[in-house]
């Protein structure tokens, strides 16, 4: 008796942005596990008679439960918002399966990550080399994050920022802006996208000098331009160099 695990990305939050493979994986599962909010998003695709466990469990416990059910022979979908392999559940699930010496099949189903959805709402800021940084120092030491901010600034990358600020982490963004101002002009365009493709969506284009005065929280993704990023007809565009 062999189960299977899908780690399913559900995109930014609107059903139209969930891929077909994700819907098929969910439909073929005996159990679906995830946070309540994400379970609500996929509710229309789930057979109501099936067990849907909405987890109050922590990430590691949730993955342990998924493995246990799969080992009992069930097909299980573990739901992760955006792309499950970008600061999501995919890595934790693969680590647990490996560490428990299991040979259960794990399929990662990609989703549209916040960087892509935010970029599309802003225009086309990711047209050239970019990096994604998370400002959360819960799992990474702040010194490492600072080092990466310096490197991204020195490399003139477009920078996507996840987890910019939360109720308990309020200073990191200000420190990050100070570092980036050593490399980038104060007038560098910055896109602020809150609740992309969800209720209460907000899209703002500002610049690096004024970024800190905006209301930024844990539902926000930032995209900071490079030296070639411009605002054209209210859209943020990183010029790649085509003769147009």
Please report, as ranges, the residues that interact with ligand SAH according to CB under 6 A.
12-13, 80-83, 86-88, 113-114, 118, 162-163, 193, 195-198, 218-221
CB of 114 to ligand SAH, least distance (A): 3
CA–CA separation, 171 vs 169, rounded Å?
6
Q: Would you say the C-alpha torsion 24, 29, 34, 36 has a positive or negative sign? A: positive
CB of 68 to ligand SAH, least distance (A): 24
Q: Which residue is nearest to ligand SAH (CB)?
A: 82
CA dihedral angle for residue 233, residue 236, residue 242, residue 244, rounded to 10 degrees = 0
Nearer to ligand SAH, 29 or 172 (CB): 172
174 exposure class (CB count in 10 Å sphere: 0-12, 13-18, 19+): exposed
Nearer to ligand SAH, 74 or 77 (CB): 77
- Identify the residue whose tokens are 């739901």: 79
CB of 120 to ligand SAH, least distance (A): 11
Strands (E), 71-228: 75-80, 105-109, 123-124, 130-134, 158-162, 189-194, 202-207, 220-224
CB of 201 to ligand SAH, least distance (A): 8
Nearer to ligand SAH, 17 or 157 (CB): 17
CA–CA separation, 15 vs 63, rounded Å?
24
- Using an 8 Å Cβ cutoff, are 191 and 118 in contact? yes
Tokens in use for 20? 């077909």
CB of 2 to ligand SAH, least distance (A): 28
CB of 37 to ligand SAH, least distance (A): 11
Nearer to ligand SAH, 30 or 169 (CB): 169
Nearer to ligand SAH, 160 or 225 (CB): 160
How much is the CA Rg of the chain, to the nearest whole Å?
20
CB of 236 to ligand SAH, least distance (A): 15
Nearer to ligand SAH, 74 or 211 (CB): 211
Tell me the three state secondary structure of residue 9: strand
């Amino acid at each position: 008796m062999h189960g299977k695990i899908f780690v399913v990305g559900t995109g930014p939050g609107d059903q139209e942005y969930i891929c077909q493979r994700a819907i098929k994986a969910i439909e073929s599962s005996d159990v679906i596990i995830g946070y309540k909010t994400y379970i609500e998003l996929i509710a229309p695709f789930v057979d109501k008679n099936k067990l849907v466990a909405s987890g109050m469990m922590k990430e590691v416990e949730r993955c342990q439960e998924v493995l246990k059910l799969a080992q009992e022979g069930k097909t299980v979908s573990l739901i992760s918002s955006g792309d499950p392999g970008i600061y999501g559940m995919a890595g934790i699930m693969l680590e647990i399966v490996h560490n428990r010496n299991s040979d259960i099949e794990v399929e990662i189903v990609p989703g549209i990550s916040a960087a892509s959805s935010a970029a599309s709402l802003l225009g086309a800021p990711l047209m050239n080399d970019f990096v994604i940084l998370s400002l959360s120092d819960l799992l990474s030491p702040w010194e490492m994050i600072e080092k990466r901010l310096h490197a991204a600034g020195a490399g003139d990358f477009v920078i996507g920022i996840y987890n910019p600020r939360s109720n308990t982490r309020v200073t990191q963004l200000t420190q990050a802006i100070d570092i980036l101002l050593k490399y980038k002009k104060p007038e560098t365009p910055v896109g602020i996208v809150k609740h992309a493709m969800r209720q209460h969506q907000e899209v703002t284009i500002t610049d690096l000098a004024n970024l800190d005065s905006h209301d930024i929280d844990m539902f926000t993704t930032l995209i900071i331009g490079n030296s070639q990023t411009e605002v054209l007809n209210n859209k943020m565009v990183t010029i790649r160099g085509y003769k147009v």
